Amino acid sequence: MTGPAVPALEISRLTKRYDDGFLALDGFDLVVPDGTFFGLLGPNGAGKTTLISAVCNLIRITSGDVRIFGREHTHGEARRMVGLAEQDVNLDRFLDVEETLLYHGGYYGMSRRDARARAKEMMDVFDLFSKAKVRAPKLSGGMRRRLLLARALMHEPRLVILDEPTAGVDFELRLELWRYIRRLHETGTTILLTTHYLEEAEELCEEIALIRSGRLLARDSADGLREAYEADSLADVYVKAMAAA
Protein backbone atom coordinates (compact mmCIF):
# COMPACT_ATOMS: atom_id res chain seq x y z
CA MET A 1 0.00 0.00 0.00
CA THR A 2 1.30 3.44 -0.87
CA GLY A 3 0.22 6.84 0.39
CA PRO A 4 1.55 9.35 2.82
CA ALA A 5 3.70 7.66 5.45
CA VAL A 6 2.28 7.61 8.95
CA PRO A 7 4.39 9.92 11.13
CA ALA A 8 6.22 8.48 14.10
CA LEU A 9 4.68 11.16 16.25
CA GLU A 10 1.78 13.49 15.65
CA ILE A 11 0.85 15.97 18.34
CA SER A 12 -2.18 18.22 17.85
CA ARG A 13 -3.30 21.10 20.08
CA LEU A 14 -1.66 19.50 23.09
CA THR A 15 -2.28 21.38 26.29
CA LYS A 16 -1.03 20.44 29.72
CA ARG A 17 -2.05 22.33 32.81
CA TYR A 18 -0.59 20.85 35.98
CA ASP A 19 -2.77 20.40 39.06
CA ASP A 20 -1.40 23.57 40.63
CA GLY A 21 -2.69 25.53 37.64
CA PHE A 22 0.62 25.95 35.80
CA LEU A 23 0.23 25.88 32.02
CA ALA A 24 3.24 23.89 30.79
CA LEU A 25 2.08 23.21 27.21
CA ASP A 26 -0.19 25.55 25.35
CA GLY A 27 -1.86 24.19 22.21
CA PHE A 28 1.29 22.48 21.00
CA ASP A 29 1.43 21.03 17.45
CA LEU A 30 4.30 18.89 16.22
CA VAL A 31 4.79 16.18 13.62
CA VAL A 32 7.88 13.99 13.66
CA PRO A 33 8.09 11.99 10.40
CA ASP A 34 8.99 8.32 10.53
CA GLY A 35 12.75 7.80 10.46
CA THR A 36 13.81 11.35 11.38
CA PHE A 37 16.47 12.35 13.86
CA PHE A 38 14.64 15.11 15.67
CA GLY A 39 15.91 17.56 18.26
CA LEU A 40 13.92 19.45 20.87
CA LEU A 41 15.67 22.56 22.15
CA GLY A 42 14.59 25.08 24.73
CA PRO A 43 15.59 26.58 28.07
CA ASN A 44 14.97 25.02 31.48
CA GLY A 45 11.26 24.88 32.10
CA ALA A 46 10.31 25.20 28.40
CA GLY A 47 8.14 22.11 28.60
CA LYS A 48 10.35 19.50 26.91
CA THR A 49 10.06 16.85 29.61
CA THR A 50 6.36 17.61 30.01
CA LEU A 51 5.92 17.01 26.29
CA ILE A 52 7.82 13.73 26.47
CA SER A 53 5.91 12.61 29.58
CA ALA A 54 2.65 13.34 27.76
CA VAL A 55 3.74 11.37 24.70
CA CYS A 56 4.70 8.40 26.89
CA ASN A 57 1.44 8.61 28.81
CA LEU A 58 3.25 9.22 32.09
CA ILE A 59 1.13 12.28 32.80
CA ARG A 60 -2.50 12.96 32.04
CA ILE A 61 -2.91 15.53 29.28
CA THR A 62 -5.41 18.35 29.70
CA SER A 63 -6.54 18.36 26.08
CA GLY A 64 -5.32 17.60 22.59
CA ASP A 65 -4.35 14.54 20.65
CA VAL A 66 -1.13 12.51 20.57
CA ARG A 67 -0.55 9.72 18.07
CA ILE A 68 2.37 7.34 17.80
CA PHE A 69 2.60 5.71 14.39
CA GLY A 70 -1.09 6.54 14.01
CA ARG A 71 -2.10 4.96 17.33
CA GLU A 72 -3.56 6.92 20.19
CA HIS A 73 -0.80 7.39 22.76
CA THR A 74 -2.76 5.82 25.61
CA HIS A 75 -3.05 2.57 23.68
CA GLY A 76 -0.78 -0.28 24.80
CA GLU A 77 0.45 -0.82 21.29
CA ALA A 78 1.54 2.81 21.05
CA ARG A 79 3.43 2.47 24.32
CA ARG A 80 5.28 -0.60 23.08
CA MET A 81 6.53 1.28 20.03
CA VAL A 82 8.28 3.85 22.21
CA GLY A 83 11.48 3.53 24.20
CA LEU A 84 12.19 6.28 26.71
CA ALA A 85 15.37 7.21 28.51
CA GLU A 86 14.20 9.73 31.08
CA GLN A 87 16.05 12.83 32.17
CA ASP A 88 16.03 11.67 35.78
CA VAL A 89 17.97 8.47 36.22
CA ASN A 90 15.25 6.26 37.64
CA LEU A 91 16.78 2.85 38.20
CA ASP A 92 15.54 0.33 40.73
CA ARG A 93 18.24 0.25 43.39
CA PHE A 94 17.58 -3.38 44.24
CA LEU A 95 18.10 -4.70 40.71
CA ASP A 96 21.45 -5.43 39.12
CA VAL A 97 22.22 -4.44 35.54
CA GLU A 98 21.07 -7.68 33.96
CA GLU A 99 17.90 -7.87 36.08
CA THR A 100 17.05 -4.29 35.16
CA LEU A 101 17.10 -5.23 31.50
CA LEU A 102 15.28 -8.55 31.97
CA TYR A 103 12.48 -6.99 34.04
CA HIS A 104 11.98 -4.35 31.41
CA GLY A 105 11.81 -7.01 28.69
CA GLY A 106 9.27 -8.95 30.73
CA TYR A 107 7.20 -5.84 31.27
CA TYR A 108 7.05 -5.32 27.52
CA GLY A 109 5.98 -8.89 26.90
CA MET A 110 9.27 -10.34 25.63
CA SER A 111 9.81 -14.05 26.19
CA ARG A 112 12.41 -14.94 28.79
CA ARG A 113 14.65 -16.31 26.06
CA ASP A 114 14.38 -13.22 23.83
CA ALA A 115 14.90 -10.94 26.81
CA ARG A 116 18.05 -12.84 27.82
CA ALA A 117 19.52 -12.64 24.34
CA ARG A 118 18.65 -8.97 23.97
CA ALA A 119 19.99 -8.12 27.44
CA LYS A 120 23.31 -9.72 26.50
CA GLU A 121 23.41 -7.73 23.29
CA MET A 122 22.63 -4.48 25.13
CA MET A 123 25.26 -5.12 27.83
CA ASP A 124 27.73 -5.78 25.06
CA VAL A 125 26.87 -2.65 23.08
CA PHE A 126 26.93 -0.41 26.16
CA ASP A 127 29.98 -2.04 27.69
CA LEU A 128 28.18 -3.17 30.83
CA PHE A 129 29.04 -6.86 30.79
CA SER A 130 31.51 -6.66 33.63
CA LYS A 131 28.78 -4.98 35.73
CA ALA A 132 26.01 -7.46 34.93
CA LYS A 133 25.60 -8.46 38.60
CA VAL A 134 26.13 -5.01 40.07
CA ARG A 135 23.20 -3.04 41.46
CA ALA A 136 22.40 0.46 40.23
CA PRO A 137 23.66 2.40 43.30
CA LYS A 138 27.11 0.87 42.77
CA LEU A 139 27.41 2.03 39.17
CA SER A 140 29.14 5.21 38.14
CA GLY A 141 27.02 8.07 36.77
CA GLY A 142 28.01 7.35 33.19
CA MET A 143 27.26 3.64 33.63
CA ARG A 144 23.79 4.52 34.91
CA ARG A 145 23.20 6.66 31.82
CA ARG A 146 24.28 3.78 29.63
CA LEU A 147 22.01 1.37 31.48
CA LEU A 148 19.12 3.80 31.08
CA LEU A 149 19.70 3.83 27.34
CA ALA A 150 20.13 0.05 27.16
CA ARG A 151 16.86 -0.38 29.04
CA ALA A 152 15.03 2.03 26.72
CA LEU A 153 16.16 -0.03 23.73
CA MET A 154 15.47 -3.49 25.19
CA HIS A 155 12.13 -4.01 23.44
CA GLU A 156 13.38 -2.62 20.10
CA PRO A 157 11.12 0.43 19.94
CA ARG A 158 10.54 2.19 16.60
CA LEU A 159 10.56 5.58 18.30
CA VAL A 160 13.31 6.27 20.80
CA ILE A 161 12.96 9.31 23.06
CA LEU A 162 16.08 10.52 24.82
CA ASP A 163 15.66 13.29 27.39
CA GLU A 164 19.12 14.82 27.83
CA PRO A 165 20.94 11.50 27.38
CA THR A 166 24.37 13.10 27.48
CA ALA A 167 23.89 15.36 30.51
CA GLY A 168 26.88 14.88 32.75
CA VAL A 169 28.64 12.20 30.72
CA ASP A 170 32.32 12.46 29.90
CA PHE A 171 33.65 13.44 26.49
CA GLU A 172 34.49 9.93 25.43
CA LEU A 173 31.16 8.46 26.44
CA ARG A 174 29.34 11.30 24.71
CA LEU A 175 31.05 10.47 21.42
CA GLU A 176 30.27 6.81 21.99
CA LEU A 177 26.61 7.53 22.67
CA TRP A 178 26.46 9.73 19.57
CA ARG A 179 27.89 6.93 17.50
CA TYR A 180 25.42 4.44 18.89
CA ILE A 181 22.38 6.69 18.51
CA ARG A 182 23.41 7.51 14.98
CA ARG A 183 23.71 3.84 14.09
CA LEU A 184 20.28 3.25 15.59
CA HIS A 185 18.92 6.02 13.42
CA GLU A 186 20.54 4.51 10.34
CA THR A 187 18.61 1.30 10.90
CA GLY A 188 15.37 3.28 10.55
CA THR A 189 14.60 4.11 14.17
CA THR A 190 13.06 7.52 14.76
CA ILE A 191 14.92 9.51 17.41
CA LEU A 192 13.56 12.36 19.49
CA LEU A 193 16.30 13.97 21.50
CA THR A 194 16.43 16.86 23.94
CA THR A 195 19.70 18.51 24.77
CA HIS A 196 21.17 21.76 26.04
CA TYR A 197 24.28 21.21 23.93
CA LEU A 198 23.64 23.07 20.70
CA GLU A 199 26.63 21.46 19.00
CA GLU A 200 25.08 18.10 19.78
CA ALA A 201 21.82 19.10 18.08
CA GLU A 202 23.77 20.51 15.16
CA GLU A 203 25.84 17.37 14.79
CA LEU A 204 23.02 14.84 15.10
CA CYS A 205 19.61 16.26 14.30
CA GLU A 206 18.09 16.55 10.84
CA GLU A 207 15.30 18.68 12.19
CA ILE A 208 15.09 20.87 15.24
CA ALA A 209 12.17 22.34 17.13
CA LEU A 210 12.75 25.36 19.36
CA ILE A 211 10.35 25.62 22.24
CA ARG A 212 9.78 28.07 25.04
CA SER A 213 7.03 28.54 27.63
CA GLY A 214 5.14 25.55 26.28
CA ARG A 215 4.98 26.86 22.73
CA LEU A 216 6.67 25.94 19.50
CA LEU A 217 8.77 28.86 18.22
CA ALA A 218 10.30 27.36 15.11
CA ARG A 219 10.92 24.05 13.46
CA ASP A 220 13.39 23.41 10.64
CA SER A 221 16.76 21.92 9.77
CA ALA A 222 19.79 23.63 11.35
CA ASP A 223 20.49 25.23 7.94
CA GLY A 224 16.89 26.34 7.58
CA LEU A 225 16.90 27.88 11.04
CA ARG A 226 20.14 29.75 10.37
CA GLU A 227 18.64 31.16 7.21
CA ALA A 228 15.31 32.10 8.80
CA TYR A 229 17.00 33.88 11.70
CA GLU A 230 19.83 35.30 9.60
CA ALA A 231 22.24 33.73 12.01
CA ASP A 232 25.75 32.32 11.60
CA SER A 233 25.39 29.53 14.10
CA LEU A 234 22.71 27.53 15.86
CA ALA A 235 23.73 29.26 19.09
CA ASP A 236 22.97 32.57 17.40
CA VAL A 237 19.59 31.22 16.22
CA TYR A 238 18.82 30.09 19.74
CA VAL A 239 19.61 33.44 21.30
CA LYS A 240 17.57 35.33 18.70
CA ALA A 241 14.60 32.99 18.90
CA MET A 242 14.47 33.08 22.68
CA ALA A 243 14.88 36.85 22.82
CA ALA A 244 11.98 37.33 20.42
CA ALA A 245 9.71 34.93 22.31
Ligand X SMILES: Nc1ncnc2c1ncn2[C@@H]1O[C@H](COP(=O)(O)OP(=O)(O)OP(=O)(O)O)[C@@H](O)[C@H]1O
Q: Under the rule (CB under 5 A), what is the footprint of Mg ion?
A: 48-49, 87
Cβ within 8 Å of residue 105, ≥6 positions away: 114, 115, 118, 119, 154, 155
Compare residues 42 and 105 and give the one whose CB is closer to ligand X.
42
Compare residues 24 and 119 and give the one whose CB is closer to ligand X.
24
CA 82-168-174 angle, 5° bins: 70
Cβ within 8 Å of residue 193, ≥6 positions away: 37, 38, 39, 40, 161, 162, 165, 181, 200, 201, 204, 205
Compare residues 77 and 199 and give the one whose CB is closer to ligand X.
199
- Interface with ligand X includes 44 (CB under 6 A)? yes
- Interface with ligand X includes 208 (CB under 6 A)? no
C-alpha distance from residue 238 to each of 47, 164, 197, 227 (Å): 16, 17, 11, 13
* The entry of ligand X, Mg ion, none that residue 22 binds, CB within 5 to 8 Å by partner kind: ligand X
Residues 64-123, interacting with ligand X (CB under 6 A): 87
Positions of E strands within 18-114: 23-32, 37-41, 63-68, 71-72, 82-85
CB atoms within 10 A of CB 94: 10
* The entry of Mg ion, ligand X, none that residue 166 binds, CB within 5 to 8 Å by partner kind: none
Which run of H or of E encompasses 191? strand 190-194
The length of the chain, given as a count of residues:
245
Compare residues 22 and 94 and give the one whose CB is closer to ligand X.
22
* The entry of ligand X, Mg ion, none that residue 107 binds, CB within 5 to 8 Å by partner kind: none
- Interface with ligand X includes 42 (CB under 6 A)? yes
Residues 134-173, interacting with ligand X (CB under 6 A): none
Stretch that binds ligand X, among 38-46, 75-83, 96-104, 117-125 (CB under 6 A): 38-46
Compare residues 9 and 46 and give the one whose CB is closer to Mg ion.
46
Q: What's the rounded Cα separation, in Å, for the pair 184 and 191?
A: 8
In contact, 229 and 240? CB cutoff 8 Å: yes
* The entry of Mg ion, ligand X, none that residue 50 binds, CB within 5 to 8 Å by partner kind: ligand X
198, 207, 204: which is closest to 238 by C-alpha? 198
Q: How far is the CB of 87 from Mg ion (least distance, A)?
A: 5
Pick from 12, 13, 18, 168: which binds ligand X (CB under 6 A)?
18
Catalog residues that contact ligand X under the rule CB under 6 A: 18, 20, 22, 24, 42, 44-50, 87
